[in-house]
Chains A and B, each alone.
Chain A
């Protein structure tokens, strides 16, 4: 079974996603990075589903894909609103919550 390879792929994708979320300043890029993280989780779930030979993992993955689509829809809507208000989607400038 290629479980280790699947898990390794998931981990690499997760780290890339995390890096993107932290390092990117463009909000759209951050949203894409979040998609990467979610998909790494999906890979993990499918790998374990295959390992234990039941379908729960597959069902979870389908849910996550649906939830991720909704999340991206909401996220892009927010980005669009921010762009209309400030003519910029750079996350660096959104620091009104500074303590």
Chain B
């Protein structure tokens, strides 16, 4: 009896996974409605809504953990694990039915766990980081709504629900990037992020419409079947995949729509950490992974006898482009932002070459170490450099003063670079290895170069932040023992930070502006947890140790079978294959460290100012600083080139053509009116009215004698007409 029950029910947590997005959704409403309410002069919610957000995330995390555990039970000993699908009708119109529901499989469970976990930590971190902010309640409301949106998308049962979650995330991203909108740059960044992503979202709608037109369904599961059906035409798959992939490019910051992501760092650091590195930006990658059969078959393009997947091309370009840009950034968060773009490129490339499991696993590991890196940067800015993110001006030499931040930063950096035995190694190296193994030789080289560049720019960022001579605000922090609060520190503070209200608030626990040691506990604890996971999360799928747990949990979500006709079998791990990337990481570290010491460490060096003296290097540097002139291309060439002439032409058309037409219509209308009055109204209509009266009177006069009142005459008429009718009948029938 028990066994029978187990077959029917996948377990309470899996059956009720739809609660996971619902709880933060309700919490959002509670925060926004009651966050600032006061009863008898006391706050209804003592932490102004933050506790509601945090509690909802903890509740969602609990259910997600339960669901993850039950998923491992659910697929235990099963060859093809069935997803747990539920659906309710949202609304119905004609034959069209929109459902809301859940599609819980390995991929969804992994993402649910990831999002709830990171959201919880980031909310804890935010308690300290945005304390005293003027829009504290709204910050937590948006953060909670974001989690609800992402979770809705992750367990979406159909495309409409997926779009719903996708757009909620876009909205929250806009709200949170522009959280400090008093500075115009922040407001601009928010608008830019929103509009750039919108460009992609059009593709999302078009792609969904194409698939609905061709497959007649929104259900993700049925779309899998449709894409796997050999009778489905390649053309329709191609166009659906292209349209959807545009949305993925926009959301996941892939080339050429990556320009919004670094600007999005204008938001508070916890936001960058949660939305713009670990969770929201992987939504595009998630979509590709979710509808993998569509993309796998749709974007497979045959050029010159060599068939390859377009996703891999975009991913490969993105890796190199973004990594190049990371070298010239002075803002620590922008380095991390470009690093995120580059890592998203790895995920896309992995999906493109057919390495589905390593790519999805990279989402998992990347979330932990990248979130940790951002929170470290926030910790440094919060405590060490006083809200400046400028590595060259306000950082340096912080390793000694902030040991916990430094240690977690180093661990996460090692994971990001793919140093062996850290989590990034097991996922990123697997992608590179798979690219080589699945006949994507060029992309393996791209991945290796990317690994080299990653190590190099992270070494540069680490060196500038934590080593060398303390500069600017950091100098005050580091030498705080000797100089208590210096006056010019206030000046520095005002210069660097006009939006944060921390300094005005002495009840911070520590004598601000410069705390003498590492960040407070609410910041440090999430760092430690994430740093720990940056090491151990890789061991869920560590190929060198023959651990394939994650692969086992996830493989039923691919939608394609592994082997002939599906995606290729993963390669067996060999240390020999991993050697090139390990060596390149070591080389990147060594080269970058030597250069940094020369350029930033010494007072004078032949390398210093090289970009100013050497015109070729200078041009390259300028090219990078200006972000390959892509922003200029979009704003000056495309926006001005297209939008401005269109606007001018529209104005001209408006003035000349439209106004002319309007005036002509007016004059014409009046003249027509006159003519109509004279001719039609007076003559025709009145004539007709009078005429009908005259005719009626005449007819009456003519017919009057017939009404004689003589019965015999009526009878004669009756019979006469009957006779005529009979005659006609006879003539017609004969």
Rounded to whole Å, the gap between the CB of A89 and the closest CB of chain B is: 12
**Which stretch in B59-67, B616-624, B710-718 binds the other chain?**
B710-718
- Chain A residue numbers with a CB within 8 Å of B704 are 99
Q: Contact mask B694-734 → A, CB, 8 Å, 1/0?
A: 00000000001001111110011001000000000000000
Interface residues of A: mostly helix, strand, loop or mixed? loop
CA distance A97 to B714 in the complex (A): 11
Is A95 a contact partner of B709 (Cβ separation < 8 A)?
A: yes
Is B719 a contact partner of A18 (Cβ separation < 8 A)?
A: yes
Is A96 a contact partner of B712 (Cβ separation < 8 A)?
A: no
Partner of A92, one of B707, B710, B715, B719: B710
CA distance A92 to B708 in the complex (A): 10
Assuming the contacts A22-B715, A22-B719, asked whether A99 and B707 have C-beta atoms less than 8 A apart, the reply is: yes
Partner of A97, one of B709, B712, B716, B719: B709
Does A76 count as interface, using CB distance less than 8 angstroms? no
**Which residues 1-30 of A sit at the B interface, judged by CB distance below 8 A?**
18, 21-25
- Chain A residue numbers with a CB within 8 Å of B710 are 91-92, 95
Assuming the contacts A18-B719, A22-B719, asked whether A98 and B709 have C-beta atoms less than 8 A apart, the reply is: yes
CA distance A23 to B710 in the complex (A): 11
Closest to A14 in B: B719
Does A69 count as interface, using CB distance less than 8 angstroms? no
Is B708 a contact partner of A98 (Cβ separation < 8 A)?
A: yes
Closest to B707 in A: A99
Is B716 a contact partner of A98 (Cβ separation < 8 A)?
A: no
Q: Contact mask A61-99 → B, CB, 8 Å, 1/0?
A: 000000000000000000000000000000110111111
Is B709 a contact partner of A21 (Cβ separation < 8 A)?
A: no
Partner of A96, one of B709, B715, B716: B709
Interface residues of B: mostly helix, strand, loop or mixed? helix
Is B708 a contact partner of A21 (Cβ separation < 8 A)?
A: no
**Which residues 516-563 of B sit at the A interface, judged by CB distance below 8 A?**
none
Give the interface residue-count category, chain B.
10 to 19
- Chain B residue numbers with a CB within 8 Å of A99 are 704, 707-709
Closest to B717 in A: A22
Is B707 a contact partner of A98 (Cβ separation < 8 A)?
A: yes
Is B707 a contact partner of A91 (Cβ separation < 8 A)?
A: no
Interface centre among A21, A22, A25 (most CB of B within 10 A): A22
CA distance A21 to B710 in the complex (A): 12
Rounded to whole Å, the gap between the CB of A59 and the closest CB of chain B is: 25
Rounded to whole Å, the gap between the CB of A29 and the closest CB of chain B is: 11
CA distance A21 to B719 in the complex (A): 10
Rounded to whole Å, the gap between the CB of B587 and the closest CB of chain A is: 118
Rounded to whole Å, the gap between the CB of A34 and the closest CB of chain B is: 10
- Chain B residue numbers with a CB within 8 Å of A21 are 712, 715, 719
Is B712 a contact partner of A23 (Cβ separation < 8 A)?
A: yes
CA distance A24 to B710 in the complex (A): 12
- Chain B residue numbers with a CB within 8 Å of A95 are 708-710
Closest to A97 in B: B709
Closest to B712 in A: A22
Is B709 a contact partner of A91 (Cβ separation < 8 A)?
A: no
Rounded to whole Å, the gap between the CB of B701 and the closest CB of chain A is: 12
Rounded to whole Å, the gap between the CB of A80 and the closest CB of chain B is: 17
CA distance A91 to B715 in the complex (A): 12
Closest to A21 in B: B715
Partner of A22, one of B707, B708, B709, B716: B716
Closest to A33 in B: B715
Q: Contact mask A30-47 → B, CB, 8 Å, 1/0?
A: 000000000000000000
- Chain A residue numbers with a CB within 8 Å of B719 are 18, 21-22
- Chain B residue numbers with a CB within 8 Å of A97 are 709
CA distance A95 to B708 in the complex (A): 7
- Chain A residue numbers with a CB within 8 Å of B708 are 95, 98-99
Closest to B708 in A: A98
- Chain A residue numbers with a CB within 8 Å of B712 are 21-25, 91-92
Closest to B719 in A: A18
CA distance A67 to B102 in the complex (A): 83
**Which residues 398-447 of B sit at the A interface, judged by CB distance below 8 A?**
none
Rounded to whole Å, the gap between the CB of A33 and the closest CB of chain B is: 10
CA distance A91 to B708 in the complex (A): 13
CA distance A83 to B712 in the complex (A): 18
CA distance A64 to B715 in the complex (A): 21
CA distance A18 to B718 in the complex (A): 10
- Chain A residue numbers with a CB within 8 Å of B716 are 22
Rounded to whole Å, the gap between the CB of A28 and the closest CB of chain B is: 14
CA distance A18 to B716 in the complex (A): 8
Partner of A94, one of B707, B711, B715: B711
A–B complex contacts, Cβ < 8 Å, 22 sampled: A21-B712, A21-B719, A22-B712, A22-B715, A22-B716, A22-B719, A25-B712, A91-B711, A91-B712, A92-B710, A92-B712, A94-B711, A95-B709, A95-B710, A96-B709, A97-B709, A98-B707, A98-B709, A99-B704, A99-B707, A99-B708, A99-B709
**B residues engaging A (CB < 8 A)?**
704, 707-712, 715-716, 719
Known: A24-B712, A91-B712, A95-B710. 8 other contacts (CB 8 A): A18-B719, A21-B719, A22-B712, A22-B715, A23-B712, A94-B711, A97-B709, A99-B704
* Across the A-B interface, the 6 shortest Cβ-Cβ residue pairs: A99-B707, A98-B709, A95-B709, A22-B716, A97-B709, A22-B712
